[in-house]
Amino acid sequence: MQSSIRLGRIAGIDIGLHYTWIFAVVLIAWSLAVGYFPDVVPGLGVGTYWALGIIAALMLFVSVLLHELGHSLVARSLGFKVDSITLFIFGGVSNLGSEAPSARDEFLVAIVGPVCSLALAGLFWLVCHALPSASASAALFAYLAFVNLLLGVFNLVPGLPLDGGRVLRSLVWGATGDPRRATVVAAYAGQAFGWLLIISGFARLLSGDFFGGLWTAFIGWFMNSAAESTRHDLVQREAFQGVKLATIMDPSPILAASDLSVHNFIFDDVLQRGYRALPIVDNGQLVGIVTVADAKKLPRDAWPTTTVATIMTPAPLRTVSPDVDVSVAVALMAESGLHQLPVIRNGNVVGLLSRGDIMRFLQLRQELHLPSRGTPPAATAKAAATIVRF
């Protein structure tokens, strides 16, 4: 998940906010300011209730951040690349660079989140009891203890994308030695739990609790779709297993020289031949790649007088070998946001892989109902696109 607002770095990890986070803070602050605080500590002013509501909502998100830092720091100590943490409407996500290579690592990274939340619940509970009872500050810490307990327990529900789903996955993986089966089991469990929340949400909605019911159903819908997309990602990765890049790339892409004009690139290669990108080669060496997107940035009247070398992305480029699995190239494209990858052997361009090639391969495979083959090499599993963890 991409952050909309960057907050800064903690222990070298980027911390950011997704725009939906604002809604969550406002909603939580509002419900506390008009409901919880006036009930528990009556007799204060409206402004005080709102201040308490806002402080409590912000401290809730500090708690969520600590939960995510737990995941990220344990992941990093086990040797994972940790990209960032994003706070959003349903809590927080840690963006890790890769999947856990073993069931043990998966278990450790997953379990630390709920452990952090439960520890915070205990800590806030102690603070609450040290404060004078029936005071506003005691009510604040009682709320924080309660929500952290809820966070810890909810996250232990054994279904993806929750931490409990990761724990379940690690246990099935450890017991069967089959990470794929473990993912499918944990994803179906997550979808089932998602449906359960949707149904109970609608039941609450019909019984008159409009807001609470809608919110529960919304969380259920989110969980169900996240679990489903985890399963689809897996199926897609399976489709690529054992398939070499050489079999789906364009093996004879047109190579352009750096003095080709942008005008000729667009009118001959793009419009007539249907290419969206060309590798630029001088004296047999790859010097860059030019795409339709590059040309679009240039005013049209400059096309005839500008060479592609002026607007191309110059070398060094991200390239792949024709002998790698397609999944490695897919992960590289997803990670870098590229639409084309030059395929290189011994310094020579031997092909070009585009997103279109990958889509065609997937569509044909689905149309022909081809089974997946082979088992994933360790490198494939490691190169999986950035995964998200709650």
Return the active site residues.
68
Starting at the edge strand that comes first in sequence, how are the strands of the sheet with 387-389 ordered? Answer: 5-10, 13-17, 82-88, 91-96, 387-389
Q: Which residue is nearest to Zn ion (CB)?
A: 113
> C-beta of 18: minimal distance to Zn ion in Å?
16
Query: With CB under 5 A, what is the number of residues at the site for Zn ion?
Result: 3
Q: Which of 113, 165, 194, 201 binds Zn ion (CB under 5 A)?
A: 113
Q: Does 99 bind Zn ion (CB under 5 A)?
A: no
Q: Which is nearer to Zn ion, 21 or 390 (CB)?
A: 390
- φ/ψ (deg, to 5) at 208: 110, -15
- Our CB check for Zn ion shows the closer of 163 and 325 to be 163
Nearer to Zn ion among residue 106 and residue 163 (C-beta)? 163
Determine the interface stretch with Zn ion among 82-90, 121-129, 155-163, 262-270 (rule: CB under 5 A).
155-163
Nearer to Zn ion, 113 or 159 (CB): 113
**Min separation Cβ 294 and Zn ion, Å:** 41
Region binding Zn ion by CB under 5 A among candidate stretches 41-49, 162-170, 216-224, 341-349: 162-170
Per CB under 5 A, 88 contacts Zn ion: no
Window contacting Zn ion (CB under 5 A); options: 109-117, 127-135, 217-225, 298-306: 109-117
The minimum distance between CB 5 and Zn ion, in angstroms, equals: 21
Cβ pair 352, 249 in contact under 8 A: yes
Residues 22, 26, 31, 37: what is their CA dihedral angle, to the nearest 10 degrees? Answer: 110
Binding range to Zn ion, per CB under 5 A, among 16-24, 53-61, 110-118, 377-385: 110-118
Residue 390 within binding range of Zn ion, rule CB under 5 A: yes
Q: How far is the CB of 93 from Zn ion (least distance, A)?
A: 8
Q: At what angle do helices 46-77 and 20-31 cross, to 10 degrees?
A: 130
Shortest separation between residue 138's beta carbon and Zn ion, angstroms: 28
Helix axes 103-130, 163-176, angle to 10 degrees: 150
Q: 107: part of which helix (H) or strand (E)?
A: helix 103-130
**Closer to Zn ion by Cβ: residue 119 or 131:** 119
Whether 17 contacts 61, CB under 8 Å? no
Question: For Zn ion, which is the closer residue by CB, 65 or 287?
Answer: 65
- 220 contacts 198 by C-beta, under 8 angstroms: yes
Q: How far is the CB of 117 from Zn ion (least distance, A)?
A: 8
When asked if residue 325 is in the footprint of Zn ion (CB under 5 A), the reply is: no
Separation of alpha carbons 289 and 285, rounded Å: 12
Q: Which residue has the tokens 């344990």?
A: 74
CB of 153 to Zn ion, least distance (A): 12
- Give the nearest distance from C-beta 282 to Zn ion in angstroms: 51
* CA–CA dist 1, 226 (Å, integer): 12
User: Is residue 213 at the binding interface for Zn ion, with CB under 5 A as the rule?
Assistant: no
In total, the chain counts a number of residues equal to 390
Would you say 49 or 88 has its CB closer to Zn ion? 88
Is residue 164 close enough to count as binding Zn ion by CB under 5 A?
Answer: no
Can you tell me which residue has the tokens 């990890």?
A: 13
Contact status, residue 113 vs residue 92, Cβ threshold 8 Å:
no
Give the rounded distance of the alpha carbon of 90 from its chain centre.
Answer: 14
Secondary structure percentages of the chain, helix, strand, coil, to 5: 60, 15, 25
Let me know: does 13 contact 72? Beta carbons within 8 Å.
yes
Which is nearer to Zn ion, 163 or 357 (by Cβ)?
163
Q: Give the interface segment with Zn ion, choosing from 75-83, 105-113, 224-232, 343-351 (CB under 5 A).
A: 105-113
Query: Mutual orientation of helices 46-77 and 103-130 as an angle, nearest 10°?
Result: 150
DSSP state of 301: G
For residues 147 and 60, the answer to whether their CB atoms sit within 8 Å is yes
Cα distance between the two ends of the chain: 11
| Options 99, 163, 294, 325; binder of Zn ion; rule CB under 5 A | 163
Contacts with Zn ion, residue ranges (CB under 5 A) = 113, 163, 390
